[in-house]
Amino acid sequence: MTVQREGSAVDQVIQPLGLRDFAIKEGQGFFLNGKPYPVLGVNRHQDIRNKGWALSAQEEVNDAKLIQEMGANAIRNAHYPQSQNWHDIHDRQGTLLWDEIPLVNVTRNTRAFWQNTEEMLREMVSQLYNHPSSIWWGLFNELGTRPMPPSDEQLKHLQAVAKELDPQRFVVAASCKYNQSFNLVTEQMAFNHYPAWYHESAPSEMKNFVEKRSKSVNKPIAISEYGAGGNIAHHTEGAPVRPEPRGPFHPEEYQAYVHEGDWAAMKDDPRIWGTFIWNMFDFACRGRKEGNVPSLNDKGLITHDRKVKKDAFYFYKANWNPEPMVYLTSRRATTRKEPITEIKAYSNCPEVELFVNGVPVGKSKPDSFKIWRWEKVQLSPGKNSIRVVAQSGKTILEDSCEWQLGNAKP
């Protein structure tokens, strides 16, 4: 649209045009343009270390590139509408976006509260309506976690407002309270669940959770949040042991273990129309001290400053991005105590060989989720050079790290 004065353009607004259709089919999942399209999503806060929300346009581009590199094709903009530039990027990139209003945790049973909530919804839909990347309108997140229960009638009114403004897109909500009437309000439903993190269960429990929750709402669901905390300076050897979720020690290895198990439990489940990792990036969170870092939620797959991709990032890259890759895990666990250990790599290549101190250990076989393991590998006292070499056709890739066993000087 161009505004002219005396034949000269004085203002102009350019809106994107994107043509697509989408559907969610029971027992079949999400469809884009008539074809099955697994929704491989992440959550994202528009927050970066030392800048807060004051991200530049280029920093938003960089965030989008990191998400694309991992292979994700959908983003939940939690828990508020994010910038026009962010949407422009994903219009061009073809990412699916879930936009939501900040109706989070608690409601107030006052006219002013619900008028304000409706105004936010109307503004979000109106402002983002022309973005083809926007697929879902999010109505609320984790209501019922505070004493004041939400009003189903008010939520039903908001659902009706959203459909009146935009009959085509889905209205969705994310809940962590089960068997509640407000879970039946929106046309699509999603649940936040953290097995093996906030719940003392194995990650495989996610499968039972999906079965129960999809039955409770009588339709397919999404998992709108899942994951675990991870500090790149914290490490463990041996079998995974669940740490205290809000405690000072959040080993990177345990975070990867949770994601490996969660994804194994959810992949190809016909009762799930989408999954969204919590979270793509570590983000500021007042009042928390997770992994011994004040005011930080450390469930990101990438650090708050965007400088380090955690092990779990590469697990998803191996599974979601077809570009050949190989990555050695526990690379930052440089000080080792156990002389006999497991060595693990992520790779989507058909062949990976391990070398320790230049000596070939052998070629392993991956599991169904691109995880390669070499059991009972003998380390030498002092410095150990760990290297993996992967081959995909004519492409040769390798990754390496150094570990120090015991107190011997390298």
List the catalytic residues.
142
Tell me the two tokens of residue 392. 């995909």
The helix or strand, by DSSP H or E, that contains position 12, with its residue range, turns out to be: strand 8-12
- Round to whole Å and give the CA distance between 206 and 194: 8
- Round to whole Å and give the CA distance between 294 and 94: 36
Helix (H, G, I), strand (E, B) or coil at 256: helix
List beta partners, residue 134. 97
> Under a CB-based contact definition with an 8 Å cutoff, are residues 137 and 170 in contact?
yes
Instruction: Please name which of 123, 195, 188, 108 lies closest in space to residue 154, comparing C-alpha atoms.
Output: 108
- Give me the DSSP letters along 135-187: EEEEEEESTTSSSSPPPHHHHHHHHHHHHHH-SSSEEEEEESS-S-GGGGSSS
